[in-house]
Structure formats: structure tokens, C-alpha cells
């Protein structure tokens, strides 16, 4: 999945999302060594941890997302290392004291082979006993195949207004959700620019993740339904997994 095309839109959409930050920062502060973030994107979580003194490397395949992440770190004079690479195949010389994959980063692994390859590679980069934590949204979807506006309107300082419309399609057999974004930007003089992006995510069920982790050499995970440690239950929006490399 190539996020280059999303880099401009991404921060507008998710910069204010903060639910997960203290959870990952707490883990980073307790890790007592270098931390690897998988799918670091534009450094939303990476920068938050670096600001707390965590020695963090953000692994990210998209050059444009990394560019954004570096700009963010430079603006706040933070020390962050970004490494361009794919979770399935990256090879770093060092091992890490903690790995994290915040905000659905593992949803871009589409087949069991890709998932296992990724988890085994993460395992190979962790010290024995080192924790691995990540979150995935609970698969529960709105109205499919219908063009919607979910309140995403952004106003730029130069007067441009951006409206995000989306339509989602569900492939139950593959466990894929494909979102087509239609992004309209209207300039103050009324000129309208229309862009289209497509994003496919592979959603997971709780127990398939538990089996995948065990198969890849991790201990049976602790699974919660919130970043504060509440149980995973019917109304939960996220599944938060915490495990360790055996």
C-alpha cells in the first residue's frame, strides 16, 4: 500500500487523534532501550515519544510520509530516526527493547503469508522478552457503497477549503475494506480541484491475531478494548494487543 499520495491529507485527518499517545509513550519510557515503531507515517506517535526522551526509530515505506515526519521533528528540534522500509523485509543491525505498530499499521498486510513474514521479522528484531504492542480497529462498518461526508472539512490559512467525501466497499471473503476518498479543494476564487485516493485495509478478528502471534514466536497476548486497559467488549472501537517475543 503506497501512502505517498496520502501524505498531504493524512495530517489534516489524524493530527488531532491522541487517544493512543500516552499508552505508547508509557511503554516507550519503560522500555529501557531503543524502540522501533512500525508504519510510523508522518511521525504523529514518533514525535510524541521522542519528546519524552525515548530513543525511537520510525520504520516507514512511504518517502513522502517520512518527509513530513522529518519536517515535524525538525520544527520541534526532536531527535528522531526514520528508516525507509517494509515491515516484511527490513533488516536493521540492532535489536530493539520494544516494538510498536500504532493506529492500524498492520492492516496493510493482506495475506497470512505477508502477516507471518512481518511478525517473524519484527520478532527477529526484538530482544528475547521484549514487548510488542499494537492496535487495530474492531471490524464494524457503516453504510457500504454509499458516498458519504463524515464531517471532514479543513480550512487552510490561505482560504482554501477541503471537503473529504468517501465511499467504502467490503470484500468479506478477503476481509478487505476499500475506501475511495474524493477530496475537493475549493480556492477563495471558487476554483475547485478534485483528487481521488483509494486505500485498502485488511481487517482482523481478535483470535486470528492471537494465533498469528503465537505462530510467529510471541507469547499469548493481553488484549484490551481501550488504551486505558478496559476489556474488549461489544462496543469497543479498538483492539489493543500486548505481547512479548519468546
Ligand X SMILES: C[S@@+](CC[C@H](N)C(=O)[O-])C[C@H]1O[C@@H](n2cnc3c(N)ncnc32)[C@H](O)[C@@H]1O
Nearer to ligand X, 69 or 225 (CB): 69
Least Å distance, CB 172 to ligand X, is 22
Least Å distance, CB 238 to ligand X, is 12
Among 221, 63, 14, 230, residue whose Cα is nearest residue 134: 221
By the criterion CB under 6 A, which residues form the site for ligand X?
Answer: 1, 3, 14, 38-41, 44-45, 59-62, 65, 86-88, 102-105, 108
Cell of 100: 510498536
Among 138, 112, 134, 128, residue whose Cα is nearest residue 218: 128
Least Å distance, CB 177 to ligand X, is 13
- Contacts of 176-184 spanning 24+ positions with Cβ under 8 A: 176/110, 176/200, 176/201, 176/202, 176/203, 177/139, 177/141, 177/201, 177/203, 181/9, 182/147, 183/9
Nearer to ligand X, 34 or 61 (CB): 61
Nearer to ligand X, 3 or 23 (CB): 3
Beta-carbon count within 10 A of 173 CB:
6
Least Å distance, CB 24 to ligand X, is 9
Among 86, 10, 19, 83, residue whose Cα is nearest residue 42: 10
Least Å distance, CB 194 to ligand X, is 23
Q: Across the beta sheet with 56-60, what order do the strands follow?
A: 81-84, 56-60, 35-38, 98-101, 131-137, 238-244, 222-224
Amino acid at each position: 500500500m503506497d501512502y505517498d499520495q496520502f501524505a498531504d491529507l493524512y495530517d489534516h485527518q489524524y493530527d488531532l487523534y491522541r487517544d493512543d499517545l500516552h499508552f505508547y509513550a508509557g511503554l516507550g519510557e519503560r522500555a529501557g532501550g531503543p524502540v522501533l515503531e512500525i508504519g510510523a507515517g508522518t511521525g504523529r506517535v514518533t514525535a510524541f515519544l521522542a519528546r519524552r526522551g525515548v530513543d525511537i526509530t520510525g520504520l516507514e515505506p512511504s518517502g513522502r510520509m517520512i518527509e513530513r515526519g522529518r519536517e515535524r521533528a525538525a520544527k520541534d528540534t526532536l531527535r528522531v530516526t526514520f528508516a525507509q522500509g517494509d515491515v516484511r523485509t527490513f533488516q536493521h543491525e540492532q535489536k530493539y527493547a520494544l516494538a510498536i505498530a500504532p493506529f492500524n499499521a498492520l492492516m496493510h498486510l493482506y495475506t497470512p503469508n505477508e502477516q507471518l513474514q512481518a511478525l517473524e521479522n519484527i520478532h527477529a528484531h526484538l530482544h528475547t522478552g521484549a514487548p510488542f504492542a499494537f492496535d487495530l480497529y474492531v471490524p464494524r462498518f457503516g453504510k457500504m457503497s454509499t458516498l458519504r461526508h463524515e464531517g471532514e472539512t479543513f480550512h487552510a490559512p490561505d482560504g482554501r477549503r477541503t471537503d473529504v467525501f468517501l465511499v467504502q466497499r467490503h470484500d468479506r471473503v478477503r476481509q478487505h475494506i476499500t475506501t475511495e476518498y474524493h477530496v475537493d479543494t475549493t480556492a477563495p476564487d471558487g476554483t475547485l480541484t478534485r483528487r481521488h485516493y483509494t486505500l485498502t485495509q485488511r481487517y482482523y478478528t481478535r483470535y486470528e491475531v492471537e494465533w498469528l502471534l503465537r505462530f510467529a514466536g510471541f507469547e499469548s497476548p493481553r488484549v484490551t478494548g481501550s488504551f486505558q486497559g478496559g476489556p474488549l467488549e461489544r462496543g469497543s472501537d479498538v483492539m489493543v494487543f500486548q505481547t512479548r517475543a519468546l
